[in-house]
Structure 1
Amino acid sequence: MSNWYVYLIRCADDTLYCGITSDIERRLKQHNAGTASKYTRSRLPALLETFVQVDSKSDALKLEIQVKKQNRNNKIAFLHKAVS
């Protein structure tokens, strides 16, 4: 069983991008190279704001959806509270 992470990236325009990955470092490098997502490609540099580890890809996908439903000011707190 591999580790999965839900992460938040703060883009250059101060927006937050939420995603999932099994390798945080690789994914952040992809974002900053402009090859990870269309959203972050035009908002570089992207800085890792926070991340949490979950048990499975399924759990990561479900948590990502929940985080994306939160308003901008609550995303970080919600992410950490969801796995506590």
Structure 2
Amino acid sequence: MKIKKVTNAPEFFKVVDSCQGRVELLTGEGDRLNLKSKLCQYLSMSQIFSRSEELHLEIVASEEKDLQKLYKYFSQYE
């Protein structure tokens, strides 16, 4: 799922932490960050929250129900 912007970091990471499977952030540079890791959450904040509009970020979840949680989170901010 491609993402454009996350405005509430604590709420977003709360949703990520509630996921059962693996949740990764794919950056435009080809990096894969495990968003279940607190260190990667910290590192990813600069990519997610301070990025320019040209960058393309994508969230990948290994479990379908986790993907549905993430869709629900992002749909409330569209």
The alignment's TM-score, normalised by the length of structure 2, stands at: 0.32
Larger strand share, 1 or 2: 1
Decide which structure has the larger Cα Rg and report it: 1
Structure with greater contact order relative to length (CA < 8 Å, sep ≥ 6): 2
